[in-house]
């Protein structure tokens, strides 16, 4: 199901990519037309034609055929990154790096805690034998 969904999303994104690519093309053409605009009837028609085409494209963009793109999350940070003209993939890489570090840090803590737990549990069990069962229970429950 998720796979189907993903495919639909990918197709949709691909489609959207095409539309945006067309739009960029349209804008370039439109720019040329405007630049070369002489005020003649034909140029006016050409501009109208191109402008309408562009607006059609915008229309496609504005109201897509499916709502698959609703499930494509874009973090604001990424948006900001693109806005600033930087490569979002760089941001992705940095983020992954950060996550990895955090994971390692946590893992270290977990290891240390487990050791502490074992040492402390052993000591408690030896000093207070009556607590042995409780210690065992705690170790059992926390031993992921």
Partner 1 sequence: MDTATMKDQQSQVHPSQGPPEIPHITTNIIPLSQILRKFAESSFSELQQVIQTQPNNEAKKKRLLELIVRLRQEYVRLYVLTKWSRTSAQDFTKFIDILVWLKEQTFHFNNLIWGTKSLNQSLLSAKLPNPDLITALEVYTNGRPTLPTHNFIEPKISTKKVLSTLKELNTILYMKYATADDLPEEFTNYSIKDGRIYIYTEDYNLQISTADETGPFFLISFEFTFGDFVTSRHLMRVCNETLRTSGFQELKRLLTNYTNTMKLYLIHQKLSPMKTIKHVYHQDKFQIVVHYWVNSFVFKYSYIEIGLNRANKIVYKWFRQGEYIETFDEVQDFGLFLRDIYHRHATFILDQIDDLTVNKSLLQINELTGLFYFKNTTPTLNASLKKLNIDDFKNINDNLQSIRMDVKFLKISTILSVTGWIPNELIKLNPQELKKLPSPIFQQEKAYALTKNMKFYTRKEWPSNWFLILFIDTKVKSFIGNIKSMLGQWTLQAPSELNIESFDYKISKQLIDYVSKKIMIHLITQELHGSTYKVSKDDTIVVKTDTFIKIPNTSNVLYMTFKVEPDNKTMLVKVKGKLNTELTLEDFAIDPSGVFEIFEVIHFRRTSILGNIVSKLERLAKIIELINYLKLEKMNLVSVKLDQVVFKYGDQVCVLKDNFDLELPANNPHNLCLVSIKGYLATKGVGHLFKYLQDSRELVTKLNEISASAQTENLSTFKTDKLRYEVVTKSSSMFSIVYYMGNSKSREILQMNIQIKANGGTYHYFIGFESLQYAEYLKQDLTLKGPLYSSMKSTTKITPLVNGVMVDEAGLGQVIDYFHNRIKENSTPVTS
Closest CA to 58 of 109, 107, 11, 19: 19
Place of tokens 């002489």: 38
10 lies in the binding site for partner 1 (CB under 8 A)? yes
The correct pick among 7, 37, 111, 123 for binding partner 1 (CB under 8 A) is: 37
73 lies in the binding site for partner 1 (CB under 8 A)? yes
| CA triple 122-125-126, angle to 5 deg | 85
Q: Is 86 left (phi over 0), alpha (psi -120 to 50) or beta?
A: beta
Q: Are 98 and 116 in contact (CB under 8 A)?
A: no
- Pick out residues in 81-100 that bind partner 1 (CB under 8 A): 82-83, 85, 87-89, 92, 95-96, 98-99
What are the residues whose beta carbons fall under 8 Å from the beta carbon of 135, sequence distance 6 or more? 121, 124, 125
Q: Are 21 and 62 in contact (CB under 8 A)?
A: no
The correct pick among 79, 111, 119, 134 for binding partner 1 (CB under 8 A) is: 79
**What's the closest the beta carbon of residue 80 comes to partner 1, in angstroms?**
10
The correct pick among 51, 124, 125, 131 for binding partner 1 (CB under 8 A) is: 51
Positions in the binding site for partner 1 (CB under 8 A)? 6, 9-10, 13-14, 16-17, 20-21, 23-24, 27-28, 30-31, 34-35, 37, 51, 54-55, 58-59, 61-64, 67, 69-79, 82-83, 85, 87-89, 92, 95-96, 98-99, 102-103, 105-106, 109-110, 113, 116, 138, 141-142, 144
């Amino acid at each position: 199901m998720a796979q189907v969904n993903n495919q639909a999303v990918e197709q949709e994104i691909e489609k959207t990519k095409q539309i945006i690519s067309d739009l960029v093309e349209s804008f370039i053409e439109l720019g040329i037309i405007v630049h070369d605009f002489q005020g003649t009837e034909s140029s006016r028609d050409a501009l109208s034609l191109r402008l309408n085409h562009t607006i059609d494209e915008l229309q496609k963009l504005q109201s897509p055929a499916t709502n698959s793109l609703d499930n494509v999350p874009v973090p604001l940070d990424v948006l900001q990154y693109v806005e600033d003209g930087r490569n979002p993939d760089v941001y992705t890489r940095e983020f992954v790096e950060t996550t990895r570090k955090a994971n390692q840090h946590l893992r270290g803590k977990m290891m240390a805690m487990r050791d502490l737990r074992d040492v402390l549990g052993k000591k408690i069990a030896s000093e207070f034998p009556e607590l042995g069962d409780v210690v065992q229970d705690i170790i059992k429950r926390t031993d992921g």
